[in-house]
Chain A
Amino acid sequence: AQSVTQLGSHVSVSEGALVLLRCNYSSSVPPYLFWYVQYPNQGLQLLLKYTSAATLVKGINGFEAEFKKSETSFHLTKPSAHMSDAAEYFCAVTKGNYGQNFVFGPGTRLSVLP
């Protein structure tokens, strides 16, 4: 069975500071991994995905994530936080085959302080 843990339900950073959101997964097969962002009263928007190509993945809005198989991690980073980054972030894992579902982590709420 697949599962995802996200360390820290709430992370606060100052504007301009580094953003680091942690994601660890367990999967019985090589996984596909994703980060999504959710703004209030909206659905989830895809930030980036890892599908067994490059281990360092660049996404939208300046975010990137690195797949580390030895650590079973897929942490999300951004060098400099912007006020507009305040939202909830979800890490998800799937086997990727047809008919599989995404398993989402519990989410991390990011606050950006002025």
Chain B
Amino acid sequence: KAGVTQTPRYLIKTRGQQVTLSCSPISGHRSVSWYQQTPGQGLQFLFEYFSETQRNKGNFPGRFSGRQFSNSRSEMNVSTLELGDSALYLCASSLDGDFSNSPLHFGNGTRLTVT
């Protein structure tokens, strides 16, 4: 079974631009979560989607948004990029978000660099 796939692996953007990151969950997984990883702040939760609905949201500004499609694939978008948005963005999937039965399975991430 294929794992969580994130594209692209690397991105370089300029301040003020916007960016879209893509995530394909493990087949059959319907819950997709996004995390931001930086050396200073560690792993921080962005949001979780289930059945095309945002079910949980972390403490990030509105510039960070996401969506989930009917096939469970997910995208996240960051508008008006700032230097501080440079990070590794990790996507993780779970069967349904019941972590007693199905923990998070992570992709290899998209490394975003904002210049």
Residues on A facing B (Cβ under 8 Å): 32, 34, 36, 41-46, 49, 51-52, 90, 94, 96-107
Contacts and interface: CB of A to CB of B under 8 A. Distances in A.
Nearest to B98: A98
B98 A96 contact: yes
Interface in B4-52: 4, 6, 33, 35, 42-43, 45, 48, 50
B46 to A, nearest CB: 9
A94 B97 CA distance: 11
Contact of A43 (B4, B45, B98, B103): B4
A46 B4 contact: no
Contacts of B97: 98-100
A10 B108 CA distance: 23
Given A98-B50, A99-B48, A104-B42, 20 more contacts: A32-B100, A34-B104, A36-B106, A41-B108, A43-B4, A44-B92, A46-B104, A49-B99, A51-B99, A52-B100, A90-B43, A96-B98, A96-B99, A97-B98, A100-B97, A101-B56, A102-B45, A102-B99, A106-B42, A107-B43
A51 B106 CA distance: 19
A37 to B, nearest CB: 11
B45 to A, nearest CB: 4
